[in-house]
């Protein structure tokens, strides 16, 4: 998905949010926003938003000296999610269609997001998503594809959300390769976050090799690209991965809550919608 003009103000919002979370003084905040303003003329219309998002967070890290500003927030999210885990498992166990409920659970975890301008209340939002109508639901294709799949790739999104992913992986009941970011970026999951969520017990964890908040293939490692190319079923979680992969001709299913208005518009759904969507060319 290409960058939209509406993303431009959002890059400033993201910088303000993360610098605010770090607690910078006025001078550093001004320096950060001036540097972000210098990115604007460099934005080519064909690039994907997480590529600029990555540069915004690099600016903040460089000017503050803080490499992982969401470290504590990520840990807290994982703890909150782990507290919900038993009830999520119960939901699945008591559902007439366990796989579909597990998909819902995985999407519900996608409310966790410090990169978008949407506040969340984990317990409450998860409950509401578990009963929310899907705006797009390619569940038939999903179930069929999964039944035949032998090399399943699961592209993670945020820390904490991994606990919800674990519920879906457990329901899939086949070997799964779980892909995290190489380095901390916003609250995206890295290996440590996946391990804290217990993913190590249900899947093989690898890194995509990128520190962008989305799997932008030109920034990924060769090792990841080989596994990605060989996969016959790919679950892509969240907005950042959708932005990076929406045009790909691969057997992809996007699971996400469309929190960002630009992404919602790109998909053609209302903001706040939940989706299980097969890639158009997939």
Place of tokens 């992969």: 245
Closest separation in Å from C-beta 11 to a copy of itself = 8
Closest separation in Å from C-beta 108 to a copy of itself = 29
d(CA 57, CA 61) in angstroms, rounded, equals 6
d(CA 198, CA 203) in angstroms, rounded, equals 9
d(CA 61, CA 186) in angstroms, rounded, equals 11
Q: Is 280 in a helix, a strand, or coil? A: coil
85 with 167: CB under 8 angstroms? yes
90 lies in the binding site for a copy of itself (CB under 8 A): no
Nearer to a copy of itself by Cβ, of 6 and 230: the residue is 6
Nearer to a copy of itself by Cβ, of 16 and 217: the residue is 16
Nearer to a copy of itself by Cβ, of 15 and 122: the residue is 15
Q: Is 43 in a helix, a strand, or coil? A: coil
Closest separation in Å from C-beta 13 to a copy of itself = 5
Residue 44 CB neighbours (<10 A):
8
Nearer to a copy of itself by Cβ, of 6 and 201: the residue is 6
Closest separation in Å from C-beta 210 to a copy of itself = 26
Q: Is 29 in a helix, a strand, or coil? A: helix
Stretch that binds a copy of itself, among 4-12, 49-57, 66-74, 187-195 (CB under 8 A): 4-12
Q: Show contacts with a copy of itself in window 16-55 (CB under 8 A).
A: 16, 26, 29-30, 33-34, 36-38, 40-41, 45
Closest separation in Å from C-beta 243 to a copy of itself = 19
Give the length of the chain. 282
Nearer to a copy of itself by Cβ, of 6 and 72: the residue is 6
Nearer to a copy of itself by Cβ, of 36 and 199: the residue is 36
Place of tokens 């990169």: 115
Stretch that binds a copy of itself, among 11-19, 91-99, 122-130, 227-235 (CB under 8 A): 11-19
Q: Show contacts with a copy of itself in window 196-215 (CB under 8 A).
A: none
The edge-to-edge listing of strands for the beta sheet with 233-237 is: 134-137, 274-278, 252-257, 233-237, 152-155, 176-180, 204-207
Q: Which two tokens stand for residue 190?
A: 């890295």
Among 12, 85, 120, 139, binds a copy of itself (CB under 8 A): 12
For a copy of itself (CB under 8 A), the number of binding residues is: 19
List the beta strands (DSSP E) in the chain.
134-137, 152-155, 176-180, 204-207, 233-237, 252-257, 274-278
Nearer to a copy of itself by Cβ, of 26 and 133: the residue is 26
Q: Which two tokens stand for residue 89?
A: 């498992």
Binding positions for a copy of itself, rule: CB under 8 A: 5-6, 8-10, 12-13, 16, 26, 29-30, 33-34, 36-38, 40-41, 45
């Amino acid at each position: 998905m290409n960058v939209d003009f509406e993303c431009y103000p959002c890059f400033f919002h993201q910088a303000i949010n993360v610098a605010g979370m770090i607690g910078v003084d006025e001078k550093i905040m001004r320096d950060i926003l001036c540097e972000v303003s210098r990115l604007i003329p460099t934005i080519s219309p064909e690039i994907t938003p997480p590529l600029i998002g990555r540069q915004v967070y690099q600016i903040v890290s460089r000017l503050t000296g803080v490499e992982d500003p969401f470290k504590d927030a990520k840990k807290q999210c994982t703890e909150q999610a782990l507290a919900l885990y038993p009830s999520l498992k119960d939901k699945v166990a008591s559902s007439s269609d366990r796989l579909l409920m597990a998909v819902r659970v995985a999407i519900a975890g996608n409310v966790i997001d410090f990169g978008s301008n949407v506040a969340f209340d984990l317990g409450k939002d998860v409950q509401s998503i578990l009963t929310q109508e899907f705006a797009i639901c390619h569940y038939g294709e999903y179930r069929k594809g999964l039944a035949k799949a032998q090399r399943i790739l699961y592209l993670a999104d945020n820390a904490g959300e991994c606990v919800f992913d674990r519920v879906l992986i457990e329901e899939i009941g086949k070997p799964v390769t779980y892909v995290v970011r190489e380095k901390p970026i916003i609250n995206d999951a890295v290996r440590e976050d996946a391990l804290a969520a217990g993913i190590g017990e249900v899947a093989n964890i690898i890194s995509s090799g990128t520190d962008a908040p989305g799997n932008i293939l030109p920034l990924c490692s060769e090792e990841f690209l080989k596994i990605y190319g060989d996969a016959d079923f790919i679950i892509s979680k969240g907005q950042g991965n959708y932005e990076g992969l929406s045009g790909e001709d691969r057997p992809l299913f996007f699971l996400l809550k469309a929190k960002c208005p630009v992404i919602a518009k790109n998909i053609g759904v209302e903001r706040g919608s939940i989706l299980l969507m097969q890639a158009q060319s997939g």
